[in-house]
Amino acid sequence: MSTAPIVLACPSDYENVSAEGARALADAGFRLVLNPHDRPLTEHEVRTLGAEAVAAVVGLEEWTDTLMDALPSLRILCKQGVGVDNIDLEAARARGIVVTNVPGGNAGAVSEFTVGLMIAALRNLAQGQRAANEGDWSRFPGREISALTVGLLGFGRIAQLVAQKLVAFGGTVIAHDPFPDEESARRLGVELVARQELLARSEVLSLHLPVLPETVGTVDADFLHSLRDGAVLVNTARGALVNEDALLTALESGELAGAALDVFSTEPLPAGHPLTRHSRVLATNHMAAESREAYGAISKANAQAIIDLVSGREPANAL
């Protein structure tokens, strides 16, 4: 019977998209237990697959205190990315379980995707594709970023990379952050403004906030009423930031011209969800961070964190 320490890799297709990390763990003598499904694992599946795991690479599954209690050998949870809102950090600390993430590991991928979503929404790519499939050569005139003011709510690493790319298009970029990075704003040519001014001026508004008790439901009816009429909302951050009922109401009333959404309050979305069926919504399935380059960097960092902890060294980026 193998005595190799077990690592539960929760993200689907981990061995392929995170091959560098998988190789590093195998070379260090660990045994990988993989997610056999093309979806996030359920709590029951995590309990079953990870019963003897000393470490887990965390995807989108929820890590609660009861789940941690069910895995007595667990010593470290490594998030495949930066956001750890699906991990009960207090419960982990209370049980001596180390939690790590990889800040900036997918920032390039998410920033590129965010700009891509903006362009797709502004230029009506989804409508054009549907029309072409049906042999319809109708025109769908859109807007150019160079003529617009793009607002960033939050101005961390990903938002700054978004700004860097947008400035190259020649548009106006404004941002609001409760802890503004004034030096980066000056370097990038971004104007830092108050929150209400951001909403009033943004023709495209992109969300770049973490999920905290005070940010859940940030985009509610009042927020959308304050947003410039005819704006486009872009969200590649977290679905919990948006009250989806309020968003649908704003889209139906015409207050909001459109939305480009990669994240949702419930994932996976049920088939036929009103947001995916809305003619002015471009919806994708939480894929902003999905690049081979990002997975490579993140998987190697997670593998090293696991190797370090089991070898008695302090892993990098412990929270």
Question: Using CA atoms, how far apart are residues 51 and 55, in angstroms rounded to an integer?
Answer: 11
The two three-digit tokens of residue 42, written as one number: 């359920």
pLDDT at 105: 87
Let me know if residue 145 belongs to a domain: yes
Let me know if residue 159 belongs to a domain: yes
Known catalytic residues are: 238, 267, 286
Let me know if residue 79 belongs to a domain: yes
Q: Are residues 208 and 156 in the same domain?
A: yes
Q: What is the CATH classification number for the domain harbouring 124?
A: 3.40.50.720
What three-state secondary structure class fits 163?
helix
pLDDT at 307: 97
pLDDT at 267: 87
Q: Are residues 270 and 297 in the same domain?
A: no
Q: Are residues 14 and 98 in the same domain?
A: yes
Q: Are residues 188 and 225 in the same domain?
A: yes
pLDDT at 1: 45
Q: Which of 67, 66, 107 is nearest to 83 (CA)?
A: 107
Residues with Cβ within 8 Å of residue 100, at least 6 apart in sequence: 76, 77, 78, 79, 302, 305, 315, 316, 317, 318, 319
Let me know if residue 1 belongs to a domain: no
User: What is the span of the domain harbouring residue 195?
Assistant: 107-283
Q: Are residues 261 and 144 in the same domain?
A: yes
Q: Are residues 61 and 73 in the same domain?
A: yes
Q: Are residues 198 and 227 in the same domain?
A: yes
Cis peptide before 268 (omega within 30 of 0): yes
Let me know if residue 315 belongs to a domain: no
Pairing label, strands 76-79, 53-58:
parallel
Let me know if residue 318 belongs to a domain: no
Contact 55, 8 (CB under 8 A): yes
Q: Are residues 59 and 160 in the same domain?
A: no
3-class secondary structure per residue, 244-258:
HHHHHHHHHHCCEEE
Tens of pLDDT along the chain (319 residues) come to 458 999 999 998 898 889 999 999 999 999 999 999 988 899 999 999 999 999 999 998 999 999 999 999 999 999 998 889 899 999 999 999 999 999 888 999 999 999 999 999 999 998 999 899 999 999 999 999 999 999 999 999 999 999 999 999 998 999 999 999 999 999 999 999 999 999 999 999 999 998 889 999 999 999 999 999 999 999 999 999 999 999 999 999 999 999 999 999 998 888 889 999 999 999 999 999 889 999 999 999 999 999 999 999 999 999 9
Q: Are residues 164 and 244 in the same domain?
A: yes
HSE-CB for 97 with a 13 A CA cutoff: 30
Q: Are residues 79 and 186 in the same domain?
A: no
Q: Are residues 94 and 163 in the same domain?
A: no
Let me know if residue 319 belongs to a domain: no
Number of domains making up the chain: 2
Q: Are residues 205 and 118 in the same domain?
A: yes
Let me know if residue 92 belongs to a domain: yes
As a dihedral over the C-alpha atoms of residue 59, residue 61, residue 66, residue 68, rounded to 10 degrees, the angle is -10
